[in-house]
Amino acid sequence: MRYKSTRGQVRDISFKQAVLMGLATDGGLLLPEKIPVLSVAELDSLAGLRYPQLAYAIISRFVGDDIPAADLRQLIERSYASFDHPEVTPVVKKDGLYILELFHGPTLAFKDVALQLLGNLFEYLLKERGEKMNILGATSGDTGSAAIAGVRGKDNINIFILHPHGRVSPIQALQMTTVTDPNVFNLAIDGTFDDGQRIVKEIFNDLAFKQRYALGAINSINWARVLAQVVYYFYAWSRIAAHRDDASVDFAVPTGNFGDIFAGYIARRMGLPIHKLVLATNENNILSRFVASGDYSVGRVVETLSPSMDIQIASNFERYLYYLLDEDAELLQQQMGEFSATGRLQFTTELLERVRDDFATLTVDTEQTLATIRQFHRQTGYVLDPHTAVGVKAGSTFRQGERPMICLATAHPAKFADAVIRATGSAPDRPDSLCEIENKPQRCQRIAADTTEIKDYLAKHALQ
Ligand SMILES: Cc1ncc(COP(=O)(O)O)c(C=O)c1O
Ligand SMILES: N[C@@H](CCOP(=O)(O)O)C(=O)O
C-alpha cells in the first residue's frame, strides 16, 4: 500500500513514512493511493471476530508488508488490552437506537481507540530506526489526554499539547494537566482550538523546523488516526447487521474536525453497506451548513455544551473535498487557497447532490442537546454525554424503518458532568480513573496563541 498527498506533491510513500510524516510535506493530507474494497464474502467473514482480530483484518490492508504480520497483530492486541470492556467498543440498544460505546479506553473518549495504537506504533517505529520524536498536537479536549495517555513515559518521545485555555471541561483539563511525566508538556493557549490547529499546521509547514526537531502528529492529520477509527464502523456493523437480508445501516456521528465521520466515509468506500452517514454538529455548524446548502463559510467559534466540537475549520474536510473533486490535486489546491483567502467555498448543485448521497445532517443547539440527554435518561436510564446527545438527536431524526441507526457514543458522560447535571438534575457516575483527579498535582504552561512563542518553547524543551 502506497500513500499520496491531497496536494499532489508527495506520492508513492509507504505506510510507515506516512505515519511519521503526519502532515504531508506539501501542506496536504495523506491518503492511500487506492482504497481496498471488501467483497461480500470478506465482509461476512468479519462477523464473530474479536475486536483486535477485526482491527487486524482492516488495518493490515493499509499497511501491506511494511510491518511484519506478527508485529502488527501484537501492536494491535497490546493497544486494546488497555480498554475496560472485553468488546473494546461494545454496542448497546436503547430506545430503538444502537449506541456504539467508544469510551472504554484509558481517557474515556473515542480518541483512545486510535491513540493507544498510534502511541505503540510510534514507539515501534522509533525503536526500529533508533530515532527520537517530539509530538506536537492541538486539542479541543479529548485528543490531548488520549495522546498523552498513549505516549506518557515512553522512551525517545516528548509530547507537546496545545489546548484552548478555559474552553475545555474541568475534567478534560485535569486529565491532561495531572499527567506530570517528564516527557509531557501541556500548553494552555489564549485562543480557540482553531488557533491551536492553525499553529500546529504552521509549525509542521516549516519543514526545516519539523525536520530539526523530528516533529510527529497525533491529530487526525495523521492517517493512522483515521485508519484506526475506520475499524469500529466495521465492528459495529459486524455485531448488528452482518447476515441480515438487508445488511445496510446508518451511522450518526457527532462532528467537529471531520475525522470520525471521514473514517465512516472510508469504511463506506471500502464496501461497508452504510446507507447514510448522519453528520451532527452543535452550533459551530459550518459542516452542517455545507451539507444542507453548500455554504462552507467560516463563522466565529462559539462555546457550547459539547466543547470538543467547538471547531470551525475542520481539518479532514480537505480529504473529503479531494474525493469530491475526483482526486484532482491541482483543483483541490486552488480551492484550499481560495478558502484561506476568503474563508468560504461555494459548491455546485451537482457536487451537492453527491455530498447528500453520502451525508444527511442536523445542527443540534444547546436546548436540544439538554432535552435529548434528559429524555433519553428518562426513557432508558442511560446517560448520554453532550457530544453523543448531539449525534443521538440527529440519529433519531433520520432513523428510517427497520434500518439500524448506529449512534457513535464518543465520550463518557463523567467528562461533562455540568451538562449532565443541567439536563437530568444529577451527576453521572464517575469511573475509577477520575477519582481524586482534582487532588493530583498539575503541570501546565499558559502561553499566547503565537506560533513564534510556541516554536521557542518547543526548541527549549524538545528531545534532540
Ligand atoms: C467527545 C467528542 N465527540 C465528537 C468529536 C468530533 O469528532 P471529529 O473531530 O473527529 O469530528 C470530538 C472531537 O473532535 C470529541 O472529542
Ligand atoms: N475534538 C478533538 C479535536 C481534534 O481533533 P483530531 O481528531 O484532529 O485530533 C479533540 O478532542 O481534541
pLDDT tens for each residue of 112-140: 999 999 999 999 999 999 999 999 999 99
Return d(Cα 360, Cα 347) in angstroms, integer.
16
3-state secondary structure of 69: helix
Name the DSSP class of 107: T
Q: Measure 379 CA to ligand 2 centroid, in angstroms.
A: 31
CB 270 within 8 A of CB 261: no
Query: Judging by DSSP bridges, how do beta strands 3-5 and 295-297 pair with one another?
Result: unpaired
Q: Which of 23, 30, 117, 140 to mutate to test the pocket of ligand 2 (most atoms within 8 A of CB)?
A: 140
Q: Measure 257 CA to ligand 2 centroid, in angstroms.
A: 6
111 is catalytic: yes
CB 266 within 8 A of CB 322: no
- Closest-CA residue, ligand 1 atom 9, reads 257
Domains in the chain: ranges and CATH: 91-108+224-432 (3.40.50.1100)
258 lines ligand 1 (CB under 6 A): yes
Q: Which residue has the cell 466515509?
A: 265
Per-residue pLDDT, 245: 84
Provide the residue-wise pLDDT of the chain in tens; the chain has 464 residues. Answer: 999 999 999 999 999 999 999 999 999 999 999 999 999 999 999 999 999 999 999 999 999 999 999 999 999 999 999 999 999 999 999 999 999 999 999 999 999 999 999 999 999 999 999 999 999 999 999 999 999 999 999 999 999 999 999 999 999 999 999 999 999 999 999 999 999 999 999 999 999 999 999 999 999 999 999 999 999 999 999 999 877 888 999 999 999 999 999 999 999 999 999 999 999 999 999 999 999 999 999 999 999 999 999 999 999 999 999 999 999 999 999 999 999 999 999 999 999 999 999 999 999 999 999 999 999 999 999 999 999 999 999 999 999 999 999 999 999 999 999 999 999 999 999 999 999 999 999 999 999 999 999 999 999 999 99
Name the DSSP class of 82: T
With a Cβ cut-off of 6 Å, ligand 2 is lined by 139-144, 219-220, 256-257, 259, 308, 315
Per-residue pLDDT, 352: 96
Q: Is the pTM of this model over 0.90?
A: yes
Cα 80 to Cα 77, 170, 233: the distances in Å are 6, 27, 16
Atom of ligand 2 nearest to the CA of 257: 5
Cα 111 to Cα 61, 108, 395: the distances in Å are 22, 8, 21
Q: Which three cell numbers stand for residue 445?
A: 504552561
Q: Measure 245 CA to ligand 2 centroid, in angstroms.
A: 37
Name the DSSP class of 18: H
Q: Measure 410 CA to ligand 1 centroid, in angstroms.
A: 7
Return d(Cα 386, Cα 324) in angstroms, integer.
31
- Closest-CA residue, ligand 2 atom 12, reads 139
Buried b (16+ CB within 10 A) or exposed e, 75-90: bbeebbebbeeeebbb
- Closest-CA residue, ligand 1 atom 13, reads 308
Q: Which three cell numbers stand for residue 294?
A: 453548500
Q: In this predicted model, what pLDDT tens digit does every residue of 39-64 receive, in sequence order?
A: 999 999 999 999 999 999 999 999 99
Among the listed residues 177, 181, 185, the one whose alpha carbon sits nearest the alpha carbon of residue 154: 181
Of residues 4, 111, 201, 415, which has the active-site annotation? 111
Q: Which of 199, 257, 410 to mutate to test the pocket of ligand 2 (most atoms within 8 A of CB)?
A: 257
Return d(Cα 373, Cα 183) in angstroms, integer.
38
Where helices occur in 206-308 by DSSP H, the ranges are 207-212, 223-240, 259-269, 286-293
CB 188 within 8 A of CB 165: yes
Q: Which three cell numbers stand for residue 464?
A: 534532540
Atom of ligand 1 nearest to the CA of 385: 1
Per-residue pLDDT, 358: 97
Per-residue pLDDT, 241: 86
CB 217 within 8 A of CB 136: yes
Q: In this predicted model, what pLDDT tens digit does every residue of 387-445 receive, in sequence order?
A: 999 999 999 999 999 999 999 999 999 999 999 999 999 999 999 999 999 999 999 99
| β-sheet bridge partners, residue 92 | 99
Q: Measure 26 CA to ligand 2 centroid, in angstroms.
A: 22
Name the DSSP class of 215: E
3-state secondary structure of 276: strand
256 lines ligand 1 (CB under 6 A): yes
